[in-house]
Amino acid sequence: MGNAVQRNRAKRLAREAFRCVRSQFPAGLALVVIVRQGLGARSLAEVVSEWQSCRARIARRFAELPVPSTEDQGRAALATKNSC
């Protein structure tokens, strides 16, 4: 992946690109992004384009997830509240 400068640039680009397309994704979506290759000289527009190209696949997988019960949501909220 590269040194710290390259890793931080990749994180900044991924975050900013997602902010640009956030409204195109389902509400309540939480993603974990793992950058496996360096972004090199890619521009923000190129990374935004990558987000847009995988939008349908992400939305489809999000729709397939089970809806948590109210009890599960309560437990998750309690666990979040009690974590440091």
**Residue ranges covered by each domain of the chain:** 4-82
Amino acid at 31: L
Q: Is the pLDDT of residue 81 over 70?
A: no
pTM tops 0.75, yes or no: no
Buried b / exposed e across 29-48, counting CB within 10 Å, b at 16+? eeeeeeeeeebeeeeeeebb
Q: What does the pLDDT read at residue 84? A: 41
Q: What does the pLDDT read at residue 53? A: 92
pLDDT higher at 46 or 79: 46
Q: Each residue of 18-75: pLDDT tens digit?
A: 999 999 888 888 888 888 887 888 999 999 999 999 988 988 888 888 877 666 555 5
